[in-house]
A and B are shown apart, each in its own frame.
Chain A
């Protein structure tokens, strides 16, 4: 029952199907010769008869048109809801009595023509946002979206900064080789002494 929640029906549902059909039929542009000349009364009213006949057919055919949701239809919506009395199991897969009741409610709402999003909005408003499998980006739950995003951006920026700073560091001094010029005065003297000693 939606009355306790004051759930507002979408505007497009305020017009009944039969009313829509009636309006469209009344705009029929019948050929001109149908409504003129002798017997025009009957011919003219044939349009009315057609309209009445169409409406009656529609009324009798309504049960056939009414969509009875299948288990798959119900589960497609129920899989977006979390069992409130279990730990993280979605309503489609949960065998508890609560979820059985919720699936029945989903089936009831689908039969009334509510869309998946409207049903999910109803459950979130009625039982709280925590029953949604995908938390909405509002209230406390917005942190679940903001924090990982902020952490990713921060991590990438930190990585870029470290890579940049490492690439700026001077290359390490090459190991001593034969062509290396020794600029230290003391070392030069040692080198000279050593050269004299070996000779």
Chain B
């Protein structure tokens, strides 16, 4: 009986470079897709700014004695800034507008600046709204919705209390009450955080 012939084993062909290129392209595509998804899932709440430097902003006022004046956070360093994001179509905003005006009159002499950011409004509607509540502190339109986006707002009203060093010390989502407002401002004036 003759011995069985040994099976002939042929070496596997080396991987073709074209296949590797395809793999890299497909993987790259998947990575970009996942990265875009992840960026969309990033938390967008403004409360994340608490304790962090406030994003700089530029706003040109359109009301009263400040009409046409440009305001930026950098220029207001050393002062306490209350940045209020509002809109004329926002019903909840109505609860706090008169309160802010009252506080502006009260705290203005103590280096506290109130800045109103009019979000997604027409100028006509925004100015009529300010007149309705007798607002005298500087307000201006949020051009390109940049301030709203940079401060990660998720709605209106939202109010940011920025200390003299430019750090966000308190974020208020929704309308404020008078005790809340005075409490935060007095604490900031004392030099403490919230």
Residues of A within 8 A of B (CB): 1, 4-5, 84-85, 96-98, 101-102, 104-105, 125-128, 130, 143, 147, 150-151, 154, 158, 161
Question: B: which residues have CB within 8 A of A?
Answer: 22, 25-26, 29, 32-33, 36, 60, 62, 87-89, 120-125, 140-141, 143-146, 149
Nearest CB in chain B: distance from A16 CB, A = 24
Other contacts beyond A104-B122, A105-B124, A150-B29: 19, CB < 8 A: A1-B62, A4-B60, A4-B140, A5-B141, A84-B120, A84-B145, A85-B89, A97-B89, A98-B89, A101-B88, A101-B89, A101-B125, A102-B122, A126-B144, A128-B146, A147-B36, A151-B29, A154-B29, A158-B26
Asked whether A4 and B123 contact (CB < 8 A) given A97-B89, A98-B89, A101-B89, the answer is: yes
Residue of A nearest to B145 (CB): A128
Contact between chains at A101 and B143 (CB < 8 Å): no
Contact (Cβ within 8 A) B143 A154: no
CB A163 to nearest CB in B, in angstroms, measures 14
Contact of B145 among A105, A127, A143, A158 (CB under 8 A): A127
Main DSSP-derived SS at the A contact region: helix
Residue of B nearest to A84 (CB): B120
Residues of B within 8 A of A101 (CB): 88-89, 121-122, 124-125
Shortest beta-carbon distance from A164 to chain B in Å:
11
State whether A1 touches B123 (Cβ < 8 A): yes
- Residue A158 contacts which of B22, B36, B60, B62 (CB distance < 8 angstroms)? B22
Least CB separation from B91: chain A residue? A97
Give Cα A128 to B141, complex, Å.
12
A143 and B36 in contact (CB under 8 A), knowing A4-B62, A4-B123, A125-B143? yes
Write out the residue numbers on chain A whose beta carbons fall within 8 Å of the beta carbon of B143: 4-5, 125-126
Name 29 A/B residue pairs within 8 A (Cβ), A-sorted: A4-B60, A4-B62, A4-B123, A4-B140, A4-B141, A4-B143, A84-B120, A84-B145, A85-B89, A85-B120, A97-B88, A98-B121, A101-B121, A101-B124, A125-B143, A125-B144, A126-B141, A126-B144, A127-B144, A127-B145, A128-B145, A143-B36, A147-B36, A150-B29, A151-B29, A154-B25, A154-B26, A158-B26, A161-B22
